A and B are shown apart, each in its own frame.
Chain A
Amino acid sequence: MLGGVQQMIGIYDKGNKSIKRTFIGNIVDCPERDLEVCKELSELKKHNITIAHASDQDWQQLITDCSSKGNVRVRVTVDGTPFNEPPTDENGIYMFHLAMRARELSEEEWKAILSGLSDQKTVEDLVRGKDPDGLRRFFEHEVMEHLSALTILCEGYLAVHADSKNDHTDIKQALEEMKWPEFRKSDRDQILIQEDLGEKICEIQQPEWWSNVFGQESFYKDVKKEWENTTRTEEIPKALDDLLEMIRASDTVIPPKIVADAYCVLVKKKL
């Protein structure tokens, strides 16, 4: 608990009075004594911890007029693009910006956040750049650079295969996910795509197609971590794992079916 005392957390959602109508109401089943919905910004002064869905102006007013040293202030968005401002300490006020939309969090995740923010050490660790109890991901944005790169390499591989003289049965579903057949019939493919795409089959079949990009030892771990963080599950699907293992083996030609199945998993993942 912050300061050793159980904290009543102030909730502000642009003047909404009822907790059920706030960004947190449908998610968190907390006893009323833990959360207090404040209609006016000035009411937030008495709360050491505040979570606010507020305009720029209101947020500024909250920090300037309704906060003092040691307070924790969290800003959330409901429909807009999530914030990407790391936790900071400004004049002793701890400021956090939720890096995902408030309604995308589960009840368990909200409870973990509320619990963490009620602990002094956790707050200070977050502000110092640490990752206590895995909470940092809620306050800092990440880009799935490895998953994105893998998806792009798969698309290039599959597109070349589709245009080559090779059999396409094994990759048919993946091509449909890519909308490749429709694309090839549209006007757009005439503009930039090279006519000799299929002749690049030798290039994409080489292990270097993958190892040039994912040559580091840590790539398997990095992809796995991105997957876990993106989907909030612990397990990487077998289809994706099979591709990663073959890339790691680095000396074999990867069959089209392996790439196709992994691609289907990549484009269907839940964010």
Chain B
Amino acid sequence: MCPRKKKIVTTPSEWQIRRNKFNHDWLKNKFLNSFNDFIEQLQKRDPDIERVSEFLFEDFPTWGSRQEDAQWIVQSFEEGMSPRRLLSCSPLNRCGNETREWLGDLVHELWLFRNSVKEKEKESQDALISVNELYEKIASELEQSSPIGLTKLIALSPQFCELKGTYEALSKTLSNLPRYELYGE
């Protein structure tokens, strides 16, 4: 039996929830799995047309709506996870206003430095740009070739592989952004 312990209950930051839903639930466990399957199909002698079509017309276009999530996660990270936000919450919000200001600035800058936050933000931003650029390029080719045949898709395999690689890199940079909200770890 576990010893009885009283609980202090609250919720993880919005940033962590959104990052998890995007990176873990959707990008890694849904989209990239489908993408892998799609590329494998293109490399087969006899690809499953239905699976290829399913990815191309159902999964691939979803990036359009998802990239906004990715953008938000990258842009909101610093504000969402900085220890400075704790100065607005109990119990530190009991400090005087002036103290909260200089102390907030101090711990924020220390946190940026110790965790190489700016560098990690830039990595994520660059990774997202790479995804978007290549995605737009492929999407444009697909549109110009519409209706697209299997031969053309197979010819685009290297580009699809490259795009998959950029998604994987993006996922990795998002995972590298510190994920805990307990300051002091």
Contact = CB atoms under 8 A, between A and B. Distances in A.
A, B: real partners: yes
A222 B6 CA distance: 9
A194 B107 contact: no
Interface residues of A, number: 65
A135 interface: yes
Nearest to B9: A140
A89 interface: no
The secondary-structure label for the interface of chain A is: helix
Contacts of A271: 180, 182, 185
Nearest 8 A/B pairs, CB to CB: A151-B184, A80-B24, A81-B20, A134-B2, A192-B105, A134-B4, A148-B183, A156-B103
B153 interface: no
A96 interface: no
A186 B91 CA distance: 31
Interface of A: 55-56, 77, 79-82, 84, 86, 109, 112, 115, 131, 133-137, 140-149, 151-153, 155-156, 159, 178-180, 182-183, 186, 188-189, 191-194, 197, 200, 203, 212-215, 219, 222, 225-226, 228-230, 234, 266-267, 269, 271
Interface of B: 1-12, 16-17, 19-20, 24-25, 29-30, 83, 86-87, 89-92, 94-96, 99, 102-103, 105-110, 112-114, 179-185
Contacts of B179: 81
A150 B116 CA distance: 23
A179 B180 CA distance: 19
B2 A109 contact: yes
Contact of A225 (B6, B20, B24, B94): B6
Listed residue (A133, A149, A200) with the most chain B CB atoms within 10 angstroms of its CB: A149
A210 B119 CA distance: 34
Contacts of B16: 81
A200 B101 CA distance: 13
A222 B90 CA distance: 13
A145 B89 contact: yes
A178 B184 CA distance: 10
B20 A80 contact: yes
B12 A194 contact: no
B2 A135 contact: yes
B20 to A, nearest CB: 4
Contact of A192 (B17, B20, B29, B108): B108
8 contacts: A80-B24, A141-B9, A142-B10, A152-B183, A159-B110, A182-B113, A194-B105, A213-B95
Listed residue (A155, A179, A180, A191) with the most chain B CB atoms within 10 angstroms of its CB: A155
A192 B11 CA distance: 30
B106 A193 contact: yes
B107 A152 contact: yes
Contacts of B10: 141-143, 145
Given A133-B1, A152-B83, A179-B114, A212 B105 contact: no
